[in-house]
A and B are shown apart, each in its own frame.
Chain A
Amino acid sequence: MAFRPETAKPLNELVDVLLRGPHTLTQAERELIATYVSAQNECRYCQTIHGAIAAHHLRGNEDLVVNPDFYRQRAAIVARNGYAASTIQGPS
Chain B
Amino acid sequence: MPHISLPEGLPGITSGFAFRPETAKPMRELAEVLLRGANTLTSGEREMIATLVSDRNACHFCQASHRAAAAHHLGGNYELVDAVTRDFQSAPVSPKLRALMAIAAKVQEGGRQVAASDIERARAAGATDVEIHDAVLIAAAFCMFNRYVDGLATFTPHDEQAYDQMGQRMASEGYVRRNA
Are both chains from one complex?
yes
Q: When the two chains form their complex, are residues B22 and A21 in contact, meaning their CB atoms are under 8 A apart?
A: yes
Shortest CB distance B4–A (Å): 14
Q: When the two chains form their complex, are residues B26 and A13 in contact, meaning their CB atoms are under 8 A apart?
A: yes
| B interface majority secondary structure | helix
Q: When the two chains form their complex, are residues B110 and A41 in contact, meaning their CB atoms are under 8 A apart?
A: yes
* Interchain CA distance A41-B109 in the complex, whole Å: 11
* 0/1 interface trace, chain A 33-60, chain B, CB 8 Å (1 if under): 0000000011100000000000000000
Contacts A4-B130, A4-B133, A6-B37 given; indicate if A14 touches B30 (C-beta within 8 A): yes
Q: When the two chains form their complex, are residues B30 and A7 in contact, meaning their CB atoms are under 8 A apart?
A: yes
Q: When the two chains form their complex, are residues A17 and B23 in contact, meaning their CB atoms are under 8 A apart?
A: yes
Q: Which A residues, 1 to 27, have Cβ-Cβ distances below 8 Å to chain B? A: 3-4, 6-7, 9-11, 13-14, 17-18, 21
Shortest CB distance B49–A (Å): 14
* Residues in A whose Cβ lies below 8 Å from that of B56: none
Q: Which B residues, 76 to 116, have Cβ-Cβ distances below 8 Å to chain A? A: 110-112
Q: When the two chains form their complex, are residues B22 and A17 in contact, meaning their CB atoms are under 8 A apart?
A: yes
Considering the complex of A and B, which 4 residue pairs feature the smallest CB-CB distances, nearest first? A13-B26, A14-B26, A10-B29, A10-B30
User: Which residue numbers of B lie inside 8 Å of A, CB to CB?
Assistant: 22-23, 25-27, 29-30, 33-34, 37, 110-112, 129-130, 133-134, 137
